[in-house]
Structure formats: structure tokens, C-alpha cells
Amino acid sequence: MIWRLALCFALCPAVAPAEVLLNQAEIDKVLLHGPWPHMPATDPSNRVSGNPDAIALGEALFNDPILSVDGAFACASCHDPQGGFTKAEPRAQGRVLLPRNTPALWNVSQHRWFGWGGDSDNLWAASLLPITAPDEMAHTPQSLEAALTESAYAEAYVALFGPVDQDALVNIGKALAAYQETLVTGPTAFDAFRDALERGDLAAAAAYPETAQRGLQIFLGAGNCTFCHSGANFSNGEFHDAGVPYFLSTTEVDPGRFDGLQNLRESPYTLDGPYSDDPEKSGAWAVRNVRQTHSDFGTFRTPSLRNLNATAPYMHNGSLPDLDAVVRHYNEIDLERMHTDGEAILRPLGLSEREIGDLVAFLETLSE
Amino acid sequence: MRSLLGLCFWALTMGSAVACAPEDALPLAADAPEPQAFLRLEPPPLAQPFSMELWLCDGTVTMIDATMPAHQHGMKYAPRLVALGDGAYRVEEMLFHMPGLWQISVTTDRATYHYDVTLP
């Protein structure tokens, strides 16, 4: 008997009860990252937002190469529904290699600005840009109108929007947006932890892995991650310099938000423009009031951290292959690459290997 | 009679600093000796537009802005100032896009005022 007990103590690891490692201040911060999922209200600038028929038409068009002038691409060619609505390549491949990583579309309706440079202030405008981009789907409004008229979608389109005319491009954008608004991820292990904390159920919260809890503490504290990755969608929706080079070649740069603002000001498709269906122009304050400064050059929109496990590689140019690389990028960030007139937030973190692993473990719990 | 006049004079002079703003309005710290500017705002939401009310006992607002001194950056959007008359203003479409300490600056033709707000 005694030898059996001794053998058990030798072979069985000591099991400490699971616990919540966070202090009350950290818990208070955690609660600000939810609840999730968050279903936004319908978009008043899009009269078919939330319309089941528009959603069905939008999904069909999303997957159909009719939206390319020569049938070369569908939206899904880059925003692959089987691949997290993105692609595994660092940069998107249109008719030429494009400058940026394909943004994933999960939870896209949560944003205020769309695209890495914020060229659009609404989802339907962002959806129509690739359709007429010469390096992408390359339609003109006229060729798109003709293609739609001759297609099997004409009847569904007419039922929603009336006759096919010069507004076809915008209306297709609105149908695509109605579909994309439905792409919302579900609750994750982090959300279960957060919700348990909110209701005071520490026993349930303690089921959240301790490595993820330690990573979360870094995220909330020394990592300074929450300055940009805030809220339920883990993004403040704004534009920052994350120390990722914006040179495309020795002679080309990606201006990021700086050019995005320029494009926005020249676009007729903003929330302040004639194609918005909202008579109140309720979202137009942003495009009216947004400031453009020199420090916007080479800044890119803060992506959401939800569903990252499905959307590698990362950063605006897809230069970081996995989450370990992302954390190491911030851990060893080169301040010489940062804008001299920009924000003073990022600095090398000096995390240990264990802490790097913990932060990665936390980030992984933001995916279903 | 003399003491009554003195009491009235005291009330007029000591009360004038807050006579231009509601009692629950908060004084803004100033480069000038006495607070002549007051504001009232609810706890601002993070990364969402909000409004606040402003009262000036003296002068006219020429600029209103906010910065995060620790991060060396300001707001991404220019706020909209609505003059309501008698030194009262509504400041709309302010937006603080990060948690932390923000310093609101109100510049008038007489002085510059500051007010610190911390977002959790």
C-alpha cells in the first residue's frame, strides 16, 4: 500500500486548482472588450441593408466572376470564404501584384473606415472599388451595367433596385455590403472568460488557460496593445504607424492613410455624398471632420484581432507570417523606422520567451 | 446699512466667477488667475463621437482641441463648435480614439484653458 502511494506521488503531477490571475483593475479593462457578438444596426446609408433578398443577391454576386470585365475574378477569388475571407499570400494578386494584404471580411461591418488606407467610409463604397479598379476586376460602370442586364441576376436586381441603369455599380455595392454585414464571428474562449467575469463567476472564469490569462495581462498592461486594439472588436478603427515598412520597392512607397484621405475627399460615394440613402447623413460627420496631417503618411488601419487564427499572414503588407512573428515584431520594434512626428506609443517590449508564448496564447483565444 | 452694502458687494464680486455657468459645470484650469471657463460633459465613450457644453464668462472661443500629452498626438477629427449665445457653446463630434489621459484645450481671445479627462 505504502509503495503504491509513493509511486502515485512520484508520477502524478501536483495539480493546483485553476484560478483567475487578473486583479480588479485588469478585470475592469477586460469587460470593455465585449460583449460579443455585437450585431450593429442596419446601415441607413444603404437602403437594402438587412434585406434578405439583397443579402442573397449580394452573396451570389460575391461568388460570381461576372463582376470582372472578363470573368477573371470574383470577390471570392481574393476574399476566399474557405480561407477566412482572405488569402494566405502576403499581398493580393489582381491583374498585377497589389501593394497590400487582402483584408479579411469577418466583422467588416463593425468598422468606421474601410480598407487599409481608409479609402471608404462605408461598406458599399468599399465593395465597389475593386469592381472598377483597372488592376483588379476592371469593369467600367457601363460594362457592368451591360453584364448585369444580360445575366441571370437581372430579375432579382430589378425587384430590389428598379431598372438596371447608371446606378448599377452603386446598387451592386449595396447588395454586396448587405451580404458582408452578415459575416460576424461568434463568441470565443476569451468571450466566455469575459462574460464569466462580468457575472462574477470566478469558477467558470478560472477555466480560461493561465497562459492566456498571463498573455492578457501583458496585452492590457506592459504591451500597451489596448491603446489601438480596444473595444469588443479589438480595434479603435483608426490609423497608426506600427513600424512596418511602407516601401513597396526601392522606388515605390505605400502612402497608406494619407492617400486614403485624398481618395476619400475625391469620392462621390461617401456618407456625405449623393448616393447615401440616409437623408440625415448621420455618419457623415467623420468624413466632414477628419483631419489630414503629414503624420498620416504610411499609417494603416488598426485591424481587428478577432479570428486571427484564420487570417494569416498579418500587417498591411502581409509581411508577418504568424502570431509569433507579430509579437516578436512589437517586442523588438525598431524605433528608427517610426515616424519622427508620429505617436510616441510603441517601444520594444523586452518580453521573455515565456511571455511571448503567453501573449500568442491569448491572441489565439480571440478565434472560434 | 454699510454692512448690508458690503455683503451685496461681496456677493456680486465673489459670485461673478460662476454666474455664467450652471452650478454643476466644472471650472477649467487656465493661464489666467481665475476660472472664467466651465464645461460639462458625461464620461466620454471610447472611439465614439461625443458632445460637451462650454461656458465662457469672458472672451470668445477661437479654438478647441484635445491631445494625449503622453503619446504626442491629438484627435483624428476636428470638433464642431456651436455658439449658443451669452458665452455658452456646445462642442460636438469630439472623439477620443484611445484610452488614457486626454487634455482638452480651449483657446479664447483672452486666455487658454485646459481640462484633463482620463478614459479607462
Query: What is the predicted pLDDT for the residue at A107?
Result: 95
The one-letter amino acid at B84: L
Are residues A306 and A323 in contact, defined by beta-carbon separation less than 8 angstroms? no
**B76 and A290: CB-CB below 8 Å?**
yes
In this predicted structure, the answer to whether residue A82 has a pLDDT above a threshold of 60 is yes
Predicted local confidence at residue A70, as pLDDT = 97
Using the 8-state DSSP alphabet, how is residue A247 labeled?
A: B
Residue B5 has pLDDT above 50, yes or no: no
- Distance to chain B for A299, nearest Cα, Å: 13
CB spacing of A238 vs B100 below 8 angstroms: no
Place of cell 480596444: A230
How distant is the Cα of A360 from the closest Cα of chain B, in angstroms? 23
Higher pLDDT, A9 or B28: B28
Q: Does A291 contact B76 at a Cβ distance shorter than 8 Å? A: yes
What's the DSSP call for residue A251? S
Cβ count near B41 (within 10 Å): 17
For residue A245, what pLDDT is reported?
A: 87
Which residues from A are below 8 Å from B75, CB to CB? 291
Please indicate whether, in this complex, the C-beta atoms of B77 and A290 are within 8 angstroms of each other.
yes
Give the pLDDT score at A15: 60
CA angle A16, A18, A21 (to 5 degrees): 115
**What kind and span of H or E run contains B94?**
strand B88-94
CB contact under 8 A, A343 and B93: no
CA A221 to chain B, closest CA, distance in angstroms equals: 12
Q: pLDDT per residue over A164-173, tens digit each?
A: 999 999 999 9
In this predicted structure, the answer to whether residue A210 has a pLDDT above a threshold of 60 is yes
Q: What is the pLDDT of residues A5-57, one digit of tens each?
A: 555 545 555 566 789 999 999 999 999 999 999 877 899 999 999 999 999 99
Q: Is the pLDDT of residue B92 over 70?
A: yes
Q: State the average pLDDT over residues A301-307.
A: 97
Which pLDDT belongs to residue A6? 52
* pLDDT band of A159, cuts 50, 70, 90: very high
Cβ-Cβ contacts under 8 Å, B79 against chain A:
289
Locate A357 and state its grid cell: 508564448
Question: Which of A184-193, A281-290, A330-339, B89-98 shows the lowest mean pLDDT across its residues?
Answer: A330-339
pLDDT digits (tens, 9 = 90+) for A86-121: 999 999 999 999 999 999 999 999 999 999 999 999
For residue A129, what is its C-alpha cell?
472599388
Kindly report the backbone phi and psi dihedral angles of residue B24, in degrees, each rounded to the nearest multiple of 5, phi listed first: -90, 5
d(C-alpha A314, C-alpha A88), whole Å: 10
- Burial, A96: exposed, middle or buried (Cβ in 10 Å; 0-12, 13-18, 19+)? exposed
- Say if residue B17's pLDDT is above 50: no
Number of cross-chain residue pairs from A and B with Cβ atoms under 8 Å apart: 54
Q: How confident is the model over A223-268, as pLDDT tens digits? A: 999 999 999 999 999 999 999 988 888 888 999 999 999 999 999 9
pLDDT given for residue A66 in this prediction: 98
Distance (Å) from the alpha carbon of A129 to chain B's nearest alpha carbon: 24
Are β-strands B80-85 and B88-94 bridged in parallel, bridged antiparallel, or unpaired?
Answer: antiparallel
For the cut 60, the answer to whether the pLDDT of residue A277 exceeds it is: yes
Quick one: pLDDT at residue A179? 98
Q: Which of B108, B41, B49 is nearest to B78 (CA)?
A: B49
Is A343 in contact with B76 (Cβ distance < 8 A)?
no
Eight-state DSSP code of residue A295: G
Mean pLDDT of the region A183-204: 97
Quote the minimal CA–CA distance from B98 to chain A in Å: 5
Q: How far is A215 from chain B (nearest CA, A)?
A: 19
Inform me whether the pLDDT recorded for B37 exceeds 60: yes
Identify the CA nearest to B83 among candidates B64, B111, B103: B64
Q: Look at B46 and A32 and tell me if their CB atoms are within 8 Å.
A: yes
Q: Give the cell for residue A115.
A: 480598407
To 10 degrees, the CA torsion angle through A239, A241, A242, A245?
120
Look at residues A78, A71, A118 and name the one whose alpha carbon lies nearest to residue A98: A78
Question: Residue A61: is its pLDDT beyond 50?
Answer: yes
Band (pLDDT 50/70/90 cuts) for residue B33 is: low
Distances (CA, A) of A290 to A209, A261, A264, B59, B64: 41, 8, 10, 28, 15
Choose among A301, A298, A275: nearest CA to A115. A301
What pLDDT does residue A40 have?
75
CB A91 within 8 A of CB A98: yes
Strand partners, B100: B119
Assess whether pLDDT exceeds 60 at residue B6.
no
Apex A263 CA angle, A261 and A269, nearest 5: 110
For residue B98, the chain A residues in CB contact (below 8 A) are 227-228, 230, 236
Would you state the pLDDT for residue B101? Answer: 96
| Residues paired with B52 in a beta bridge | B91
Contact list, A282 vs chain B (CB under 8 Å): none
Which positions in chain A touch B49 (Cβ < 8 Å)?
285
- Closest to A339 (Cα-Cα) out of A297, A301, A311: A297
Contact assignment for B46 to A236 by CB distance below 8 Å: yes
- Report the length, in residues, of chain A: 368
SS3 state at B73: strand
Cβ-defined contact of A237 to B71 (cutoff 8 Å): no
Of B73, B77, B99, the CB nearest to A289: B77
The verdict on a CB contact (< 8 Å) between B72 and A343 is yes
Whole-complex ipTM:
0.89
Per-residue pLDDT tens over the stretch B42-59:
999 999 999 999 999 988
